[in-house]
C-alpha cells in the first residue's frame, strides 16, 4: 500500500469513525481503524461490534493520490500521531509495518492485518427504504431519543420504534414513564416496522453532516444509514415494542395553552430545589391551576418555592392540581420550538399530553408524561 493524502482530509474521516471505536471491545482488532485503499477511494472503518461507521474519501489525484492499493488496521497511537500532521502525509506499508512521513517526521508503526477486520455487509444502496432531509433526521432524533430507557431491564425500551405505513413515518420512544411521538409524511410506499437503538441514532447524528439527505436501508437484523460519504451501520433491537397507541389518551377534561419559554424558565428555577439531596434526577414539581399556572416544590432538606405563570387560555374545571417529574417536563418542552404549547389533562393521576399549539407544524408531535403521586 502506498499513497499520499492531505492531513485535513484524512483527519476529518478519522475523527468521524473514531466516535464508535472503544478500547473496551472484546475483539482486539476493533480497537483500531481499518484503512482500505483502492485506486478509486480510501475507506476508513471504525466499529465497536454493534455500531460501525465508514467514511469514504474519493481519490482525486491531488488531495489524495494512490500509487499502490492495500488494506491495513492502524492503531489508536497512529491516529494520535496523524492528528499532529500539518503537511501532506506519505503512507507506505511493508507487510504489517506502516511508514508515515510528513514534514520532518518519520515513523515506522506496527499495524494489524486488514483481512482479519470484520467484513462490512453488502447492501444494495440504490433503493433506500426511506429518505429524509438532514434537518428532518436531526429533528426525529432530537425529539424522541431522550425518552428512551437507559436501563437494560427491558432492552426493547432502549430503542426507538420506526413505523412506516401509508406514506407516513412515525417514531415512538418510551421508557414506560413518559413517551415521545412524532410523525410526518414521507416518500416511501413501503410498510415496515423496526426498533433502532436510541444510542445509535444519537451517535449517527453526531457524525453526519445534516446538509445532506439521510437514506435508510433496513434488513431483518440491521439498519444502515447513509449521509453523504458516511455510512452508519447498527444492529436492530429484537422483540416486540409495546403497543403505545393505547397509552395515549384520546379525550381530555381540560386544556391549558401557555407560553413555552416562560414555562421552561419557571421549571428551571424550581429544578434545583425539587431535586432531593440523595438524587439529582428525581425532582417533582406540583402544578396548580386556578386563574394562574402555579408551580411549586418542597423538600424537607432544602425548603420550598413557588413560581406563578400566566397562561394564554384554559378550558375545563379549574382548581386542578397535578405533580410530575421536572426533568421529564423540561426535556419535553426543550424538544419543541413552538411559542406556545397545549397541556391536555385527563385527571390528576392520568397521563397528560404536551403538544405544540401552532397549526403550521410540519411535524405532528406530542409528549406524554405520567404524573407522580404526592402527599
State mean pLDDT over 55-72.
96
How sure is the predictor about 300, in pLDDT bands with cuts at 50, 70 and 90? low
| Cβ–Cβ < 8 Å for 135, 143 | no
Neighbours of 135 (CB within 10 A): 12
Sheet containing 159-165, strands listed edge to edge, beginning at the edge strand earlier in sequence: 192-197, 159-165, 168-174, 178-185, 364-369, 352-356, 340-345, 254-259, 313-315
Tens of pLDDT, residues 176-229: 999 999 998 887 788 889 999 999 999 999 999 999 999 999 888 999 999 999
What's the CA dihedral at 86, 90, 94, 95 to 10 degrees?
A: 70
Residues 6+ apart with CB under 8 A from 190: 129, 130, 164
* Residue ranges per structural domain of the chain: 2-116, 130-245, 249-369
Residues 293-328, buried b or exposed e (16+ Cβ, 10 A)? bbbbbebeeeeebebebebeebeeeeebebbbbbbb
Same fold for the pair 2-116 and 249-369: no
What is the average pLDDT score of the chain? 92
Task: Tell me the HSE value of 243 on the side-chain side, using a 13 A CA sphere.
Answer: 1
pLDDT at 279: 52
Sequence length of the chain is: 375
What number of H helices and E strands is found in the chain?
Answer: 6, 27
| 106-124 per-residue burial string, b: 16 or more CB within 10 A, e: under 16 | eeebebbebeebeebeeee
pLDDT over 90 at 15, yes or no? yes
Tens digits of residue pLDDT in 130-157: 999 999 999 999 999 999 999 988 999 9
Q: Indicate if the alpha-carbon torsion angle 247, 251, 256, 258 is positive or negative.
A: positive
User: Using CB atoms within 10 A of its CB, is residue 280 exposed (0-12), middle (13-18) or buried (19+)?
Assistant: exposed
The three-state secondary structure class of 194 is: strand
Class of domain 130-245: alpha beta
State the architecture of 2-116 in CATH terms. Answer: Roll (3.10)
Please give the helix or strand (H or E) that residue 179 lies within, else none: strand 178-185
Task: List, as one string, the DSSP characters of 49-66.
Answer: SSEEEEEEEE--SSSEEE
Name the CATH topology of 249-369: Proliferating Cell Nuclear Antigen (3.70.10)
| Percent of the chain topping pLDDT 70 | 96
Amino acid at each position: 500500500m502506498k499513497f499520499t493524502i492531505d492531513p485535513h482530509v484524512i483527519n476529518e474521516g478519522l475523527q468521524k469513525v473514531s466516535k464508535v471505536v472503544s478500547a473496551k471491545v472484546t475483539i482486539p482488532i476493533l480497537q483500531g481503524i481499518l484503512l482500505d485503499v483502492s485506486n478509486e477511494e480510501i475507506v476508513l472503518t471504525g466499529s465497536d461490534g454493534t455500531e460501525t461507521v465508514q467514511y469514504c474519501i474519493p481519490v482525486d489525484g491531488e488531495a489524495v493520490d494512490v500509487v499502490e492499493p492495500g488494506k491495513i488496521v492502524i492503531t489508536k497511537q497512529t491516529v494520535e500521531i496523524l492528528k499532529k500532521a500539518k503537511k501532506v502525509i506519505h503512507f507506505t506499508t511493508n507487510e504489517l509495518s506502516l511508514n508515515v512521513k510528513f514534514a520532518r517526521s518519520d515513523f515506522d508503526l506496527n499495524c494489524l492485518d486488514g483481512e482479519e477486520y470484520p467484513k462490512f455487509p453488502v447492501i444494495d444502496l440504490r433503493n433506500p427504504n426511506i429518505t429524509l432531509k438532514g434537518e428532518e433526521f436531526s429533528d426525529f432524533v432530537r425529539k424522541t431519543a431522550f425518552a428512551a430507557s437507559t436501563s437494560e431491564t427491558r432492552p426493547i425500551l432502549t430503542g426507538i420504534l420506526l413505523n412506516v405505513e401509508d406514506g407516513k413515518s412515525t417514531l415512538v420512544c418510551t421508557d414506560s414513564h413518559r413517551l415521545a411521538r412524532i410523525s410526518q409524511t414521507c416518500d416511501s410506499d413501503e410498510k415496515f416496522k423496526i426498533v433502532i437503538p436510541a444510542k445509535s441514532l444519537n451517535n449517527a447524528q453526531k457524525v453526519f453532516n445534516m446538509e445532506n439527505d439521510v437514506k435508510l436501508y433496513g434488513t431483518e437484523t440491521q439498519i444502515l444509514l447513509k449521509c453523504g460519504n458516511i455510512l452508519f451501520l447498527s444492529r436492530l433491537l429484537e422483540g416486540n415494542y409495546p403497543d403505545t397507541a393505547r397509552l395515549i389518551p384520546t379525550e381530555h377534561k381540560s386544556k391549558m395553552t401557555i407560553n413555552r419559554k416562560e414555562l421552561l424558565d419557571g421549571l428551571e428555577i424550581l429544578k434545583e430545589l425539587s431535586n432531593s439531596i440523595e438524587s439529582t434526577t428525581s425532582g417533582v414539581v406540583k402544578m396548580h391551576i386556578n386563574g394562574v399556572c402555579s408551580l411549586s416544590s418542597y423538600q424537607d432538606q432544602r425548603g420550598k418555592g413557588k413560581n406563578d405563570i400566566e397562561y394564554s387560555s384554559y378550558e375545563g374545571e379549574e382548581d386542578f392540581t397535578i405533580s410530575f417529574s421536572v426533568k421529564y417536563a423540561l426535556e419535553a418542552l426543550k424538544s419543541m420550538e413552538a411559542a406556545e404549547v397545549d397541556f391536555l389533562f385527563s385527571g390528576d393521576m392520568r397521563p397528560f399530553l404536551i403538544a405544540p399549539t401552532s397549526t403550521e407544524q410540519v411535524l405532528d408531535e406530542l409528549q406524554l408524561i405520567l404524573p407522580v403521586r404526592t402527599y
